[in-house]
Amino acid sequence: MRMAAVHSDTYADLRERELCVRLTFVLAASRSRVIDVDNLTKSMCDGLRGTVYRDHTQIQHLDVMKIRMVEDAEEWAHLSVRPTAVSEHRDVFDRLNHHSFGVARI
């Protein structure tokens, strides 16, 4: 699977923040060995630890998708890591709707 190298200073501001991680794995149509999406995710998250973020406990929101290509081509993965405020309910609930289930009124 193709991955680009990154310089560790690029992610310095993420090392102490709560994070949203989005992963998309695109697999070749001819792949004969089945790979579970949870195993792909664990491998990717382990590889990012210490470079992009300090520890897995920083991940508060995880969005993962595995896609098998229709035609054969090189396999690849897309990664997005960004700060989140999910624990403060700032980027999950719409303030205009005033959700009150399970959380303090926003």
Tokens of 66: 């595995």
Which amino acid would we find at residue 24?
T
**Residue 23 CA from chain centroid, whole number:** 5
- pLDDT at residue 70, rounded to an integer: 86
The residue extents of the domains of the chain are 16-97
In 62-96, which positions are buried (b, 16+ CB within 10 angstroms) versus exposed (e)? Answer: eeeebeeeeeeeeeebebebeebeeeeeeebeeee
Evaluate if pTM is beyond 0.85: no
pLDDT tens across 76-97, in order? 999 999 888 776 666 555 555 4
- pLDDT at residue 32, rounded to an integer: 86
pLDDT tens across 11-38, in order? 567 888 889 999 999 999 988 888 999 9
